[in-house]
Structure 1
Amino acid sequence: MLIPKPNLYPPFNIVRLSHVELGVTDLAKSRAFYVDTLGLQVTDETSDTIYLRAMEERGHHCIVLKKSGKAEAGDLGFKVFSDEDLDKAAHFFKAKDLPVEWLERAYQARTFRTRDPHGVPLEFYSKMDRLAPIHQQYALYRGVKPLRIDHFNCFSPNVDESVAFYNELGFRVTEYTEDEETGRLWAAWTHRKGGVHDIAFTNGRGPRLHHTAFWVPTPLNIIDLLDLMATTGWVANIERGPGRHGVSNAFFLYILDPDGHRIEIYCSDYQTVDPDLEPIKWDLKDPQRQTLWGAPAPKSWFEHGSLFAGAAVADSVLKAQPIIAP
C-alpha cells in the first residue's frame, strides 16, 4: 500500500492525544505502581477512581484508573482545538455511521465517545480543567519523573485500513514498516502534535491496546526506574529493554502494570512539525527496525495486549512475522 498523502486540512482539528482510562482490578496496587513507583501525580481520588497527571501537564488528567471486575482499556482521549471542532468531529463520525454518544465526564467540558472502524473507543473534547503548573516543584519528582503522556500504540487487524482512516483525521505518518512480499503495512506511526507519534498501529489480533507511553527527561531516569523496580517487588513487571528503537530513535523501556497493561517509558525521539516531512520506510526483516541496539523484543511483546471494553477482536489479515527473541 502507498502511504496516503498528508491531509493538511482535515474536517476538524485534533491537537494531540490527551488521556486513557484503564480498568484495573486492584486500585490500591495500581496506585502503588503508577504513583509510588512511576511517580505520576494524583489530582483526584475516590473509592473507585484515581485521576493522574504527569509533571509538565496542565490538564487535570492523562490517566484515569477505574476499579473494574476485569482488566481492560477504556477510551483513548484526544483534545480538539475548539468547541466548533468538537461539533465538526461529531458530524464527521455520524457521517461515517460510527456511534456518537455525548457524555458527562468529570473535569471535562462537552465530550463525546465514538469508535474507529475497527472498534477502538475514542473520546473527544475541547476543554479540560486546567491546573497550576508543577514542573518546577522538584520536591514532587519521584520514580521515573514522568513529564507527559506521549503516545498510544494499538494492535490493528488491518494496519492499512487504520492508517487510511486516521489520515482522514489529519494524522500524518512519520515512519512505517512494510512487508516486502505483500506490500502491506505491518506497522505505522502517526502524529498530530509534532512528535513521532500520537497513535501508532502494530499488526496483530485486534483492536487491542499495545501500550501507553510516557516521556521522561533522560535515559538515566529509565535506569533509575529499573533499579527501583528491581528492589521494590516489581522486577517481574519489566518486559523489554532498556534499548534504543530504530523506528523513532527513542530510548525505551516496556513494563507491565499489576493488571498487565503495558507502559512504555520513552525519550529522545525527534521533531516532525514540517508538513512536507517524508515518512521513513523500514523493512519488516531489518533487525534494527525494532531495536537499533539491545535485546530483540520477546514473544509477549508481539502477542500480549489489553482488550478494549466492548470491542470485538479479529485476527490480523497480514500473517508476516518480525524478528522475535528466542
Structure 2
Amino acid sequence: MPPELARLGHVALETPDLDGSLSFFSDVVGFEEVEREGDTSYLRAVDEFDHHSIALTEAEESGVDHIGWQTVDSESLSAFAERLEGEGIDVTWVEAGEELGQGEAIRFSTPTGHEFEFYHEMEKPDPPAERRSKLKNKTYSRTTTNPIAPRRIDHTQLWDTDAAGFAEWLQEALGFTVQEQYDRTDGSRWGTFLTACGNKIEAAVIDDEEAGNDPALHHIAYKVDTADDLFDAHDAMNEHGIPTDGIGQHSISRGKFLYVRDPVSGHRIEFNAGGYLVFDPNWEPIAWTEDDLEDRQWIGQIKSKERVNY
C-alpha cells in the first residue's frame, strides 16, 4: 500500500513576543494553552482532542517553522521519507517528544520551499479538571472557555509564485486531491483547493502575483459553529481594539469567514463557518474562471494580502 496522509494536524508559528501573541491567541481568540516549554507554547482549539494544533515559539521575527500533517499509520513515515529522498529532497527525522506531545516525525522542504512535517502519533491530554467537560466526547466545557473560541483546525492558505506546480506536486507526490480550482481568463491557474483526507479543503494554494516572493502562509482557518459566531468574534475584536481583515462568504467552498491578525506577529486566523463536505470517491473538481466570478468572493472581501514567510 502506498503511504497516505490522514489530515492537516498543526502549524508551528514564530513570533517576536510570545507573551504578547498569547494575549491574542489565548485571551482574545480563545485557544487553550496545553503546555509551555521554554520559549514555546502549545495551543489547541476547544473541541480538539490532540495535544496541539498551534505551536507558538518566540523568535527574532515572525515566521512559519512548519505545517504538520498526520499520516494514516506509522509505516507511512518511512515510506514517505523514502519517496521524498528518491526525488532528491532532504528529509530530517525528528525524535518523539522533540515537539511536545508528538511522536516521531519527518521534516522537509517542498520543491517550492514550504516547510512540512509528517507525523503519526500525537498525545491526547486531558484538560485541567476545572475546565473539563462532563461529556466524555468533548474536551473543554463551554462555561469555562472564551465563548467565541474556535472549535478545530480546518485549513491553511499557502501562497506560492509557482502555485500550479506546487499543487501538482502535492497531488503526485503526497496524494492530495483537488476539490475546486479557479483559472484566470488567460487560462492560468490562480488557486487550487486541495485536501489530504478527502472530505474538505485543507490546503488552498494561491498564485502569488508578486514575482520573487518567498512561499508564505496567508492564514490558518478554524471552524466555528454558525455565522452568528463570526459576528460575536467581530464584536470581541472591536472590544479589544483589534482591527479585522474582512467578513463575508467565499464562493469557493461556500465558507463564511472573518479574518483577524495577531497585532504582535501578523499571523492571521480565519474564523470559518458553513461550507460543505465531500465523501464521494468519484468527485470531480469544481472548475471556476474569472467569467464565472470576477471578484472570487460571494459576499464581502478580504482587505489584506499580507502573509508570513517561512
Asked if these proteins are the same fold (TM beyond 0.5), I'd say yes
- The yes-or-no answer on 1:255 pairing with 2:249 is no
1:76 corresponds in structure 2 to 67
Contact 1:18 1:78 in 2 (8 A): yes
**After superposition, where does 1:225-304 map in structure 2 within 5 Å?**
225-234=233-242, 236=243, 238-241=244-247, 243-258=248-263, 259-284=265-290, 286-287=292-293, 290-294=296-300, 296-298=301-303, 300-301=304-305, 304=306
2:309 corresponds in structure 1 to 307
Contact 1:186 1:284 in 2 (8 A): no
1:109-146 per-position Cα deviation (integer Å, ceiling 9, x unaligned): 11110111101000011101112354462223314221
1:186 corresponds in structure 2 to 190
**Separation in structure 2 between the aligned mates of residue 283 and residue 78 of structure 1, nearest angstrom:** 30
Aligned residue for 2:205, secondary structure, equals strand
Structure 2: 5+ residue stretches without partners:
127-136
AA aligned opposite 2:224: V
Contact 2:164 2:207 in 1 (8 A): no
Contact 2:216 2:307 in 1 (8 A): yes
The alpha carbon displacement at 1:196 in A equals 3.1
Contact 1:145 1:221 in 2 (8 A): no
Aligned residue for 1:160, secondary structure, equals helix
TM-score, with structure 2 as normaliser: 0.89
**Separation in structure 1 between the aligned mates of residue 290 and residue 261 of structure 2, nearest angstrom:** 25
2:177 corresponds in structure 1 to 172
TM-score, with structure 1 as normaliser: 0.85
The alpha carbon displacement at 1:281 in A equals 1.1
Contact 2:259 2:302 in 1 (8 A): no
1:183-215 per-position Cα deviation (integer Å, ceiling 9, x unaligned): 221101001224431111011033111111101
Contact 2:217 2:307 in 1 (8 A): yes
1:130-173 per-position Cα deviation (integer Å, ceiling 9, x unaligned): 12354462223314221100011110111221121111211111
AA aligned opposite 1:190: L
AA aligned opposite 2:195: H
**Separation in structure 1 between the aligned mates of residue 291 and residue 261 of structure 2, nearest angstrom:** 26
Structure 1: 5+ residue stretches without partners:
1-8, 309-326
1:2-48 per-position Cα deviation (integer Å, ceiling 9, x unaligned): xxxxxxx8x31100010011101111111111111111111002341
The size of the alignment, in residue pairs, is 291
Aligned residue for 1:211, secondary structure, equals strand
**After superposition, where does 1:1-326 map in structure 2 within 5 Å?**
11-104=2-95, 105-132=99-126, 134-135=138-139, 137-168=141-172, 169-181=174-186, 183-204=187-208, 205-234=213-242, 236=243, 238-241=244-247, 243-258=248-263, 259-284=265-290, 286-287=292-293, 290-294=296-300, 296-298=301-303, 300-301=304-305, 304-308=306-310
